Amino acid sequence: MDLSPQDIRWIIQGMIILILSIAVHEFGHAIVAHKLGDRLPESQGRVTLNPIAHADPIGTLLFPMLGLLFTGGKGFGFGWGKPVQVNPVAFSRRFTMRTGHMMVAIAGPLMNILFGIVIALILASLVTFEVLPKHHELARALHYAIGLNFILFFFNLIPAPPLDGGAVLEGLLPERMVPGFQRYAVYGPFVLMAVIFIPQLSQLFVKPAVWLHGAVWSVVSAIFGLS
C-alpha cells in the first residue's frame, strides 16, 4: 500500500475526528441516563467527554483505521464506541422505562448533530475573522468533521437493532406492536450489514447527511455573511 505524506496526514486527521465524534455520541447516552437518575454510567466513568473513556480497541481504533488505510484517507472511517451500560429500572418515574430508554438512545445521534453544528459555527467564525483561509486544509478537515457527524446521526437512526434507531422506534411504537418489533430485532444485525456493504442502501444515510451538511453550511454562511 503506497501512501503519500498527505494520505497519512488525512488518515491521522480522520482518526482524530472520528474518535472525538464517537466520544461526543457516547457522552450523549451517558449524560441523559445520568439525568434520568441512573448512576451506572457515572460509576463506570462514562459521564465525560474524555475519548479514552469511550474508546473501543476494535470499533474505535482498529476497524476505522483499516477503513481509512484502504481508502487512503479519502473515505469516512466508520466505527463505534464502547456501549454505555444503563439500568432502566433506575430511571425517573416521570417516564416509563421504554420512554427513558428511547431518550437515552436518541441522545447519542442528537449530540452528533449538535457537534456538527458547533464545528460549522467555529469554522465560519475562523473564516470570517480571517484566522483561517476558506480553502485551507484545516477548513477542509473541519468540513469533513461536519459531514462525518451528520452521517453518524442518520446512520445511527436506522431502525435496526443494535443501532440507536432500533430503540427509538421501539419507544415510539404502540405497546401492542412491541412484541412484533422484538421478533424483528433478531435480524437487525443482518439489516445493518446490508446497509453498510450494499452501496445503494448506504445512500439511505449518506444522501441525507450530504444534504444536511449543505443546508447547515448555507445557513451558517448567511449568518456570518460569507459568500
**Any residues with CB less than 8 A from the CB of 160 and at least 6 apart, and which?**
166, 188, 189, 191, 192, 195
The contacts of residue 157 (CB under 8 Å, 6+ apart) are 106, 109, 163, 164, 165, 168
**pLDDT for position 72:** 65
Among candidate residues 26, 130, 170, 175, the one labeled active-site is 26
What pLDDT was estimated at residue 84? 97
Task: Quote the pLDDT of residue 201.
Answer: 85
Amino acid letter, 130: E
Q: Respond yes or no: is residue 130 known to be catalytic.
A: no
Q: Output phi, psi for 53, to 5 deg.
A: -70, -25
Residues of the chain with pLDDT under 50: none
Q: If we measure between CA atoms, which residue out of 14, 78, 82, 75 comes closest to residue 48?
A: 82
List the one residue out of 52, 77, 51, 66 whose CA is nearest residue 147: 77
pTM: 0.94
Per cent of the chain over pLDDT 90 is: 67
- Interatomic CA distance for residues 182 and 161, integer angstroms: 9
Sign of the four-CA dihedral 45, 47, 51, 57: positive
